[in-house]
A and B are shown apart, each in its own frame.
Chain A
Amino acid sequence: MNWLLIGWFVLLIANDSKGDPVLWTPANQAFEAGKFEQARADYLQLIATGNVSPELFYNLGNTYLKLDDKGRAVLNFKRALALAPGFEPAKHNLNLALQAAGVDPQEETLMGWLAQSPNVWMLGGSVFFWLLAYGGYLWFVWPRFRPISKVVLAIAIPCAVLCLAIAFWVGDGVRSPELAIIINPSADVRYGPANGSRVTVTLGLGESVHLLSERGTWAFCRTDTGLVGWLPSNTIERLVPR
């Protein structure tokens, strides 16, 4: 286990030593110079080449705000928060963008808060599960270690149950590849994949849906309230960029 930690540390150092990506500085300079179209193109190219960072999505969100594309601005601030849930500048500008679009910022729910960090619950569940397993082994195999294993089991059992239950409940959370955001001022969820079909519910900018399937220019989605229906594909964009 020690060797694994050392390896992880070395990997972190290697990552840091790579430095900023090539287009990062020119994109920021283009933004500062007011060339927002150029900045947007550079940021998008950075994302396309596999560079992801909360700062990158935050800057791209700002660029979209400058270009008056509030839907994509909200999307990119949410992407930044999906990578770094405690990223205060992104939270602040997300609220500003929603306010500018005439949308009330949504109140944070328990589910929403838990779903922000799906990896924490998965990692916690994993660690406590193995503590439980090794502690139980100790308990049964080496009776002389029972005082220690008793303490370990007393901590590991509730923590493992809690973390694994939350991990199972939130799934991939905000990092789910099926999670999409409404980028239009409003979008009608319809019973069928046709403009003439009856409207089930109208969603506002920034609301999230889960994509269940796609057919042509229509996407079959489930809303946060559990309603299912069809949305035009151009009104939504996946939170996790492809």
Chain B
Amino acid sequence: MNAKTEQEIQPQMNADRRRFLPRSLRAAGGNNGALLGEVPFSRSRNPNSKRDSFSPLQQSLRRGRFSVIRGWFRLFESGFYLRQSAFICGFAFSSVLLQLPALGAEPVIRANLSVATTTVDQPVELQIEIQNARIIDPPEVAAGHLQIDMAGQSTRYQVINGQPSFSSIFSYLVTPSLEGTFSIPPVAITIDGKTYYTNELTLQVSKKAPNSPTNAPDKPYFGELVIPKDSAFVGEPVPVELRFYFDRRIWYQPYPQGQFPIIDGDGFVTKKYPDPVEKEETVNGKRYRLLVYRTAITGVHAGRLELPSAYQEFLLHLPVTQSSPGFDDFFEQSPFGNQSNAFERKDVKVETNSGSIEIKPLPEAGRPADFSGGVGQFTMESSVSPERSKVGDPVIFQLQIKGLGNFDRVQPPHLEAMPEWNIHPPVSEVTPLDEVGLSAIKAFAYVLIPQAPVNRAPSATFSYFDPAKEKYVTLKVEPKPLTVSGTPMLTTASPPPVTPSAEAAPSPSVANNLTRFSASAGFATLRQETWFWIVQAIAIGGLLAIGFFQWWRAWDARHGQARALRRERRRLYRDLNSRDDENVLCAATRLIEVDFLLRSQDTSRQISAEEAVKRRDIPDPLRARLLELVAKRSDFVYAHRFSPITPMDRIGIKETLREWEKTP
């Protein structure tokens, strides 16, 4: 092997010019011999050196060793490469297959700026995303007073819910050189012979931030509040940046994770923070890693708005250093100095500088009646669909307000009142065009119901305050032509129901409120009224009373005679104690009759005492005594043969009658 060849096949060396050679081979002879360790390097470096560019096994084969298996090895080797190639081809083919549906879809082109506002010489990122199409050459982008440089290109393939999509993303750095509002015109992109355009973008450039600190403090980490303006109007959003600088060797993380910076104070509102951006920047000759939070503040009162320092807590991993005398650098900046591999965890609160901004009131002069608080620069466009309709079929009338400003205060534009249209309140949707949302499109979709044939949509006006021109601006969109056919829904030319001019109509209008007030019993149903149930109770009571009366009469008819006999019997017993003997005898005789009648259950018939005594089955002595009593009374009444009744006779009469009653 000659010297030239040996020089050509030298292996790679490391920093101290030691070869990557295994210890065993180095000991065995170093730079010649089998050269087993050198082959991989030489193969790539000298493709012409055929002999030395193959593996030892191959060399052996070439030299005729293992000639028996030589053919088999070549077969195996060719098979290995074949499988590798097939795998690569298959992967590529499947990738293409997966992309086919995405590439077949209609291309979608978007352009956006990372922020809509910046300061002079402060670059912002412009991204053009082309979806569902493959573009190789970056689109040409140019705009006056803006330096636009290509920053990179990437592709993205994603499958969402089984739907593949393919995107090409071109990034540009846009650096403004002047203060003002600049527009980036639509960029033409040709795909398959068809030209598409991006949306127009607006970039607002202000002069360099007056509130930013001129010199960074000599610290390993610090914060900075950047306010690009020193004055704004009430309601005008002012973009601000909160920058947190960290030495390159510090590992940092917002703590707690996901926490956003806090700006204390009142008299202003802040927008929601987007995710922070990380950058690298040199400050005072030192490289820092930078975490930038972007937001916007909006002053709500006129006057000087003082912004105290904002703060954010971070969890830091600081390198532990052994300080050497004479060095005041924080981490002993020498890369191979006294720095150890140890890190210290530290929870720190990083504060920014404070700032202030003058908030000016909105002028009263020239304020339009329909001004609703929108401050910024806006444009308005309208569309209507469908363009042919019938009376009663809804038509969607969309108004798009686009630009830069406080979209949360942008209210629906004022539509021209037309009796042919019944206008429903709109629904709105905001599409932000930058990450803070200062540049956006707010779309208002009105549902219009045609009440009669008409050939145009209503016109619309929108008023806002332009802080750059410092005056109110009223935008107007001209009526869009369309065709509505059919017969009118309203037979008379009466206005919409809310307009008070239908007095001529024979029927009452909504404008005429009634002045009489007729008190009503309310919504209670009869079932809930007490009086209803009282009336029902009276009706039931009446029916029951009549029934009771009828029953009582029947009962009385059935039991009245017996009651009278019982009453008479009580009276006759009292008469037995009378001093008049005739009364005693008459009472005793009648008692015999009454008792017989009560026992017989037939109180209506008449019977004499003698007959009663004879009919009843009683002992003979008792019957004899009773008949004697009856005869005595007959003698007394009819024959006037009087025999005085002694007290013993009275007792005897009572005893006889008691026996008569007790006899079953």
* Residue ranges of A at the interface with B (Cβ–Cβ < 8 Å): 1, 4, 15-16, 18, 20-21, 24-25, 28, 31-32, 50-56, 58-59, 61-63, 65-66, 68, 79, 82-84, 88-89, 92-93, 96-97, 99-100, 102, 118-119, 122-123, 126, 130, 133-134, 137, 141, 172-173, 175, 185, 240-241
Contact = CB atoms under 8 A, between A and B. Distances in A.
B516 A55 contact: yes
Contacts of A83: 520, 522-523
B424 interface: yes
A134 B540 CA distance: 10
Contacts of B497: 65, 93, 96-97, 99-100
Given A55-B517, A55-B518, A92 B489 contact: no
A21 B520 CA distance: 12
Given A53-B518, A54-B520, A100-B496, A65 B510 contact: yes
> What are the 8 tightest A-B residue pairs by CB atom distance, in nearest-first order?
A96-B497, A89-B508, A122-B526, A55-B514, A59-B513, A240-B523, A20-B517, A100-B497
Contacts of A96: 497, 510
Nearest to B449: A102
A88 B497 CA distance: 16
Contacts of B508: 88-89, 92-93
A167 B163 CA distance: 61
B518 A119 contact: no
Nearest to A77: B510
B498 A68 contact: yes
A185 B514 contact: no
Interface stretch (B479-487, B543-551, B642-650): B543-551
A28 B515 contact: yes
Contacts of B489: 99
Contacts of A62: 510-511, 513
Contact of A56 (B392, B490, B517): B517
A122 B536 contact: no
Given A66-B510, A137-B543, A137-B546, 6 more contacts: A65-B497, A88-B507, A99-B490, A133-B539, A141-B546, A240-B523
**Number of chain B interface residues as a range:** 35 or more
Contact of B519 (A18, A65, A92): A18
Q: Pick the most buried of A96, A122, A137: most chain B CB atoms within 10 A of its CB.
A: A96
A130 B541 CA distance: 12
Given A65-B497, A102-B422, A102-B449, A82 B523 contact: yes
A92 B523 CA distance: 21
Contacts of B518: 53-55
B30 to A, nearest CB: 75
Contacts of A141: 546, 550
A137 B517 contact: no
23 contacts: A1-B538, A4-B535, A4-B538, A16-B519, A24-B517, A31-B513, A32-B513, A51-B517, A52-B519, A52-B523, A58-B514, A65-B497, A83-B523, A92-B507, A93-B497, A93-B508, A96-B497, A100-B497, A102-B392, A122-B525, A123-B532, A133-B539, A240-B523
B527 interface: yes
A52 B542 CA distance: 35
Contacts of B511: 62
A199 B543 CA distance: 56
A100 B424 CA distance: 9
Contacts of A59: 513-514
Interface of B: 392, 394, 422, 424-425, 449, 489-490, 496-498, 507-520, 522-527, 532, 535-536, 538-539, 542-543, 546-547, 550
A175 B424 contact: no
Nearest to A97: B497
Which of B392, B517, B532 has the most chain A CB atoms closer than 10 A to its own CB? Answer: B517
Contacts of A51: 517, 519
B interface, by DSSP: helix, strand, loop or mixed?
A: loop
Contacts of A99: 489-490, 497
Nearest to A43: B513
Contacts of A53: 517-520
Contacts of B424: 102, 185
A130 B539 contact: yes
Contacts of A16: 519
B125 to A, nearest CB: 38
Contacts of B536: 126
Contacts of B522: 50, 52, 83
A183 to B, nearest CB: 14
Nearest to A20: B517
Contact of A123 (B510, B516, B526): B526
Most buried by A among B508, B510, B542: B510
A119 B527 CA distance: 8
Given A55-B516, A65-B510, A92-B508, A134 B543 contact: yes
B208 to A, nearest CB: 50
A15 to B, nearest CB: 5
A97 B497 CA distance: 7
A9 B198 CA distance: 82
A152 B116 CA distance: 91
Nearest to A24: B517
B523 A175 contact: yes
Nearest to A98: B497
B654 to A, nearest CB: 48
A7 to B, nearest CB: 9
Contacts of A241: 523
A85 to B, nearest CB: 12
B390 to A, nearest CB: 14
Contacts of B532: 122-123, 126
**B489, B496, B522, B547: which has the most chain A beta carbons within 10 Å?**
B522
Nearest to B526: A122
Contacts of A63: 513
A47 to B, nearest CB: 10
A118 B525 CA distance: 7
Contacts of B517: 20-21, 24, 51, 53, 55-56
Contacts of B543: 130, 133-134, 137
A167 to B, nearest CB: 9
Contacts of A50: 522
A205 B489 CA distance: 19
Nearest to A121: B526
Contacts of B515: 25, 28
A51 to B, nearest CB: 7
Nearest to A11: B531
A65 B498 contact: yes
A55 B514 CA distance: 6
Nearest to B522: A52
Nearest to A50: B522
